[in-house]
Amino acid sequence: MNVLITGASSGIGEALALECAKRGDRLFLCGRDRSRLDAVADACRAAGATVCADKVDVADEAAMRNWIVSCDADAPLDRVFANAGVGTGIEDEANVRRTFATNVGGVVNAVLPAVELFRRRGAGGQIVITASIAGYGPLKSCPAYSATKACVKTWGLALRGMLRSEGIKVSVVCPGFVRSRITERNTCPMPFFMEADKAARVILRRVDRNVGLIAFPWPMRLASWGLSILPFWMNELVNRMLPEKVAAGRPKVL
């Protein structure tokens, strides 16, 4: 299988690349950190995979389209993971804009060229979008992050319905706390914390079965879903009791 993964230089993207390499998939990987990306590519090659790794910023629409088209020309893509994402950190204007540009714009920039290629071939194809359990509802500790993940979660599930008749599969992944460069900065409690390699295996098993919404672990999914269906005044009360993500912080008032 020919597999493309954005955000492959760390976290879930890195783990997905390594698990796909063990399967013998041909890999096209991108990330923004050249040294980390090269290390992942080398590990995948050591596992026996053929790998092409390029430094690409997913927020750059033209660069992403050109990269995806060139990868597909090299080996027709079967599966595209729109996985790249960032945590907001301090909710100042620069970080909020960066979060939306990467977590929403970056997903759009990966998905639209892939859909176009799959349609042109008329031979199916599969898109996997990484959202988050945080996308189930508004979270005071990470407003921009939860909003961007809610956006791509809804868009991906709607695309699944729209593209079904064309034979294009779409899955949306909503993981809980998984080891990554984002969670390494968290100082809040992280219940049901999961290692990235275990998360990648869960994702791939369900993607193989064409599961539409891949949300795990189930206690986090249940709690997040429950929070999302509460009347908003109750949602606000619960949100007030949730711990702060101390690492995220707030802009200092001088």
CA 190 to CA 193: how far, in whole Å?
6
The active-site residue out of 145, 155, 177, 216 is: 145
Quote the distance between the C-alpha of residue 176 and its chain's center. Answer: 12
Question: Alpha-carbon distance 176 to 130, whole Å?
Answer: 11
The residue written with tokens 């049901």 in the block is 192
254 is written with which tokens? Answer: 């001088």
Alpha helices in 122-217 (DSSP H): 143-163, 196-208
Cβ atoms of residues 159 and 111 within 8 Å: yes
Spatial neighbors of 164 by CB under 8 A, at least 6 apart, are none
Query: Among candidates 201, 196, 194, which has minimal Cα distance to 220?
Result: 194
- Residues comprising the chain, all counted: 254
Structure tokens at 59: 């927020």
Catalytic-residue membership of 145: yes
Q: Could you give the residue numbers annotated as active site?
A: 145
